[in-house]
Amino acid sequence: MSIKLNNGIEMPIVGFGLWKVNNDTCADQVYNAIKAGYRLFDGAVMRYGLLDYGQLRSLTCIDYGNEVESGQGIARAIKEGLVKREDLFIVSKLWNSFHEKHQVEKIARKQLKDWGIDYFDLYIIHFPLAIAYVDPSVRYPPGWEDTNGKITEINAPISDTWAAFEELVEKGLAKSIGVSNFHGQLLTDLTRYAKIIPQTLQIEHHPYLSQPTLIKLAQNKGIAVTAYSSFGPQSFLELDMKEAQGAEPLLQHPLIKKIADKHSKTPAQVLLRWATQRNIAVIPKSNNPERLAQNLDVLSWNLDQSEIEEIGGLNKNLRFNDPVNYGLDIYMYTG
């Protein structure tokens, strides 16, 4: 099953997320995910490594930084005849340090080379944040700090970055383009000058952060929504994030468990179906073959409308993927 994007291209509604998929297992995981039936892969380039900003909190964070390995898994699957390139929907993202107009194509080409492909099905602005450029020969995969070990914001407006994205489409380097972690005002502003209206908006979306009006705004403008971190705090426990440790686990929430039991499904499947049934794409990540298969089975059965609403009632505007929660002095979600 897929979502028809505003350019007519079909995007699979369930994909495989590549954040925190380790480099040594990534190629096999991508290959096995293709075998299990996944066709969309959601990648990115950045890597945090160990963050330690003096007074700020340290956080060990294993990251994406696995585009080469993801490409190897795909190449193997194509070589063995499991799929053709055109059966796959490969997504990657522009990191914050490459927002300047003249940097976009260069880095997109490097990322494509790493994947071993000649176009992205979807290329996304990862965050509406522009930070100082660090040459890939100095550090790659990129991170937050500049060469002085500081995070320096720069004046690269989204309008410039978006114009460069539109050129990627003209040159055939990306079939579709989108944004991530944008709020409503920024998205609305972008649609005022864009020659190409974004095909997708990727946001944190789970019952503790359901963002119904942002989703409505995007869908009303013909922008498809992709949910990340569908299991709420689960993904952030691996990072020892205190906000996740303090939250009631969604996968064990009594309401989610009750609904899962009623449908003979798992809590994870209920959380994913809660999104897909409202035409929101999901990109769960799992390092476990059984869970990987389970996460694909979220289309052939339905929640009752009352259950969808009950789950929506758990909203408490609790965001985990906020730079502030990583100990960074960056305030992108201020009101």
Residues known to be catalytic: 64
Take residue 62 and report the two structure tokens written for it. Answer: 């294993």
Q: How far apart are the first and last CA of the chain?
A: 36
Q: If 0-12 CB within 10 Å is exposed, 13-18 middle and 19+ buried, where does residue 24 land?
A: exposed
Sole residue written with tokens 């979306």:
205
Distances (CA, A) of 142 to 25, 44, 131, 150: 21, 10, 11, 13
Give the interface segment with ligand NAP, choosing from 2-10, 18-26, 167-175, 297-305 (CB under 6 A): 18-26
Residue 17 sits in the site that holds ligand NAP (CB under 6 A): yes
Cα(116)–Cα(67) distance, integer angstroms: 9
Site string for ligand NAP, 128-167 (x = CB under 6 A): ----------------------------------------
| Shortest Å, Cβ 121 to ligand NAP | 14
251 lies in the binding site for ligand NAP (CB under 6 A)? yes
CB atoms within 10 A of CB 234: 21
For residues 260-276, one letter each, b for 16 or more C-beta atoms within 10 angstroms of the residue's C-beta and e for the rest, the string is: beeeebbbbbbbbbbbb
Interactions with ligand NAP, residue window 293-322 (CB under 6 A): 294-295, 321
Please give the residue whose beta carbon sits closest to ligand NAP in the complex. Answer: 17
* Nearer CB in complex with ligand NAP: 134/268: 268
Find out whether 126 is annotated in a ligand binding site: yes
The CA-atom distances, in angstroms, between 296 and each of 21, 178, 282, 304 are 18, 24, 10, 20
229 binds ligand NAP (CB under 6 A): yes
Q: Which two tokens stand for residue 318?
A: 């609790």
> At its nearest, how many Å lie between ligand NAP and the CB of residue 143?
14
Binding ligand NAP (rule: CB under 6 A), the pick from 72, 103, 230, 276 is 230
Scan residues 23-82 and list those touching ligand NAP (CB under 6 A): 42
Among 228, 259, 265, 323, binds ligand NAP (CB under 6 A): 228
Tell me the C-alpha distance between 188 and 250, whole Å. 31
Q: Using the rule CB under 6 A, which residue among 5, 11, 18, 298 binds ligand NAP? A: 18
Spatial separation of the C-alpha atoms in residues 135 and 18, rounded to whole Å: 24
3-state secondary structure of 184: helix
Cβ closer to ligand NAP: 207 or 284? 284
Kindly state whether residue 200 participates in binding ligand NAP, applying the rule CB under 6 A: no
The C-alpha atoms of residue 126 and residue 118 are separated, in whole angstroms, by 20
From the list 27-35, 135-143, 158-166, 289-297, the region that binds ligand NAP by CB under 6 A is 289-297
Residue numbers belonging to the annotated binding site: 126
Q: Which residues bind to ligand NAP, rule: CB under 6 A?
A: 17-20, 42, 126, 180-181, 202, 228-231, 234-235, 238, 251, 266, 268, 283-288, 291, 294-295, 321
